[in-house]
Amino acid sequence: MVKTNIWKVPWLPCPLNGYLTTIISVELKDKRVVNLLDESKKAWDEDLLQDICNERDRELIRKIPIPRSSKVDSWFLFCDDKGEFSVKTCYRLIRGERECLDKMFWKKLWGLNLPGKVTNFLWRSCRKVLPTAAALRVKHVNISAVCSWCQSGMEDDRRVLFQCNFSREFWEKVGLADVVKVVPGDTVMSLLKRVFRIGRKEQYSMVGLLCWNLWHRRNNWVWNNVNTSSFGVCSRTIILVDAVNGRSGQSYFHTIVDDCKDILKHFSEVLVVFSSRSANTVAHLLATATYSMSGLHEWLATAQDFIACNISSEEAS
């Protein structure tokens, strides 16, 4: 801090702009970082910061810890956990995994409880390297760039996964349309960031797995001419059914699944299978209603009004 000029070098802990944004005063143009310290208290001189720095700069300066002993000025790489420069860190920066603003996003993405092929697919979609029609056209492959599903727009990764008519219908049917809603200027990466920010933890893996299955369905259509309905995609990706019939995990979601398994042990014979919403309206209405309920509820003889009419209609059919 002894030699570092407060105006000429990016010494603030900000990945976008490490320079002071305060208007430079002629009297202070040669000031060093050490001049902003209160040496007697081993702390920043708050009165001085208040006088010469704007609010943004003050907040960033306060984040810098003050060493108890005097040390020679040294620099570190802000985007590395240890602050060390290495070829490995540069490679990761270029690849995008360790960009400062995206560090937490990549950590969440690679930490999802999903098969490796799914997380790898999500990474490729975020890096815009999926072989969509639009991407192949950029590489001078002579094919049509029109969406292979709806034939009404250019096929890029965002359209395949979220914007095509089939994709929108699919997200509606699985109840995640609000979570994956596309806004102008969105990329797959920015949309998944928003999912991680506004969605529930158990929805992260659900969205990732469903995206992979949408891509799988698209490839089946393009290469094998096999068209799968949205319910077909959904039936292959019902995480709850797989979790109940499979091994336990460590997430909040699997904790609930384990409780369900304990309850099922009290029945002599139980089979857990997936049934589409349209074929099981009563169960869907009951599950939806539980979001607004608290405590324990038991209905042994008389059904609640919100499902009684549906029970009668299903019995009649």
219 and 128 in one domain?
A: yes
202 and 142 in one domain?
A: yes
pTM of the model: 0.47
308 and 285 in one domain?
A: yes
The pLDDT, as a whole number, for residue 237 is: 43
224 and 182 in one domain?
A: yes
For residue 170, tell me if it sits in a domain: yes
158 and 122 in one domain?
A: yes
202 and 135 in one domain?
A: yes
222 and 124 in one domain?
A: yes
The tokens describing 207, both together, are 């969205």
Per-residue pLDDT of the chain (317 residues; tens, 9 = 90+): 567 888 888 888 776 788 888 887 777 788 888 888 887 777 888 888 888 889 888 988 888 877 666 666 666 666 665 667 777 777 766 665 545 557 788 888 998 888 888 899 999 999 989 999 988 988 888 888 888 777 778 899 999 999 988 888 888 877 888 889 888 888 999 999 999 988 887 788 889 888 998 898 888 888 887 776 554 545 444 566 666 666 665 554 566 677 778 887 887 666 666 565 555 677 767 766 665 666 667 766 677 776 666 665 555 55
Question: What is the domain count for the chain?
Answer: 4
DSSP for the chain reads --S-BTTTS--SS-SS--S--SPPPGGGTT-BGGGGEETTTTEE-HHHHHHH--HHHHHHHHTSPPPSS--------TTSTT----HHHHHHHHHTTT-GGGHHHHHHHHTSSS-HHHHHHHHHHHTT-S--HHHHHHTT--S--B-TTTSSSB--HHIIIIISHHHHHHHHHTT-TTTT---TT--HHHHHHHHHHHS-HHHHHHHHHHHHHHHHHHHHHHHH-----HHHHHHH--HHHHHHHS---SSHHHHHHHHHHHHHTTSS--------GGG-HHHHHHHHHGGG--S----SSS--HHHHHHHHHHHH-
For residue 94, tell me if it sits in a domain: no
The 3-class SS string of 116-181 reads HHHHHHHHHHHCCCCCCHHHHHHCCCCCCCECCCCCCCECCHHHHHHHCHHHHHHHHHCCCCCCCC
For residue 49, tell me if it sits in a domain: yes
Range of the domain at 164: 111-237
Q: What are phi and psi of 110, to 5 degrees?
A: -75, -15
For residue 95, tell me if it sits in a domain: no
The pLDDT, as a whole number, for residue 295 is: 66
